Structure 1
Amino acid sequence: MSAGPGRTVSGGLSVEPVDLAAMLRIDADGAAPPFEQVRAGVIDLIGRGDLMVGARIPTVRKLAADLDLAANTVARSYRELEAAGIIETRGRHGSFVKAGADATRDKAQRLTLEHVKALRELGIDDTAIITMVTQATRSS
């Protein structure tokens, strides 16, 4: 099923991962090791709302290539994020943001994703969805 330009949905989620590499900044000369910078960066992005609960993140190999890091470095970050309950891996479907620090915000993000999915299933394009949500926030 199409979900707008260049997107498809599977099980209600966009199958395209977010461009996490564009959102993270890794300092090769920084005090923190790169795996910690990736881990902390993901947590920070979630906390700021830039990375929503339910968002699909790139594979270890893809993110490692995009950030010019070793795959084992990114794998360690993902393992630690998964152990902390922040991301989850769903087999061949990929890895997804599972939770942030605020349960209420997590629920709101999940509901937002479900709402967008339902509107896309009705054939509403993303521009119209954004307009509807903006109008709804103004009229509430």
Structure 2
Amino acid sequence: MIEPLVTIDSTRPVPPYAQIRDQIADLVEAGGLAEGARLPSVRQLAGDLGLAAGTVARAYQELESGGYVTTRRGGGTRVARQPVAAPGRRSALIERHAREYVDSVRRLGADRAEAVAAVLTAFDASPH
């Protein structure tokens, strides 16, 4: 299941449906969700995240349009077959997120030591 891996940050300017879409797409691209893996139902994920069902439905629709998932009536939403990932795709995703983090903490005036300390603290506190 993906529930513990998908989180919503209400302080971000990114709408919740886009956060869901982006996180699931990253998981699929990085191999964290294998072909055929079943995603939670719209209602289940919405309830788990405290969101309206329409928000999750929009994320799933965009994931389907992007070729990340397929939805069949009675069969649920499943991860679609993906093209063979380029070597290093997972590393590239991690680096992209690291750059986004660095950009964010620099805007806050943090130096390298503060940024690294915050990452280590977050890793130690994370249940994953």
Q: TM-score band, normalised by the shorter chain?
A: 0.5 to 0.7
Q: How much identity, in percent, do the aligned residues show? A: 42
Is it true that 1:104 corresponds to 2:48 in the alignment? no
The residue number in structure 1 matching 2:5 is: 23
The TM-score normalised by the length of structure 2 is 0.63
Q: Which amino acid aligns with 2:56?
A: V
Give the corresponding residue for 1:59. Answer: 41
Q: 2:75 aligns with which of 63, 83, 93?
A: 93
Calculate the aligned-residue CA RMSD, in Å: 1.2
Tell me, which stretches of 5 or more residues in structure 2 are unaligned? 86-128
Q: Which residue of 2 aligns with 1:37?
A: 19
Paired amino acid for 1:39: R
**SS of aligned partner of 2:84:** helix
Kindly tell me the number of residue pairs found equivalent between the two proteins.
85
CA deviations on 1:88-139 (whole Å, 9 max, x unpaired) are 1121111101044xx225xxxxxxxxxxxxxxxxxxxxxxxxxxxxxxxxxx
TM score, norm. by length of structure 1 = 0.57
Secondary structure at the counterpart of residue 57 of structure 1 = coil
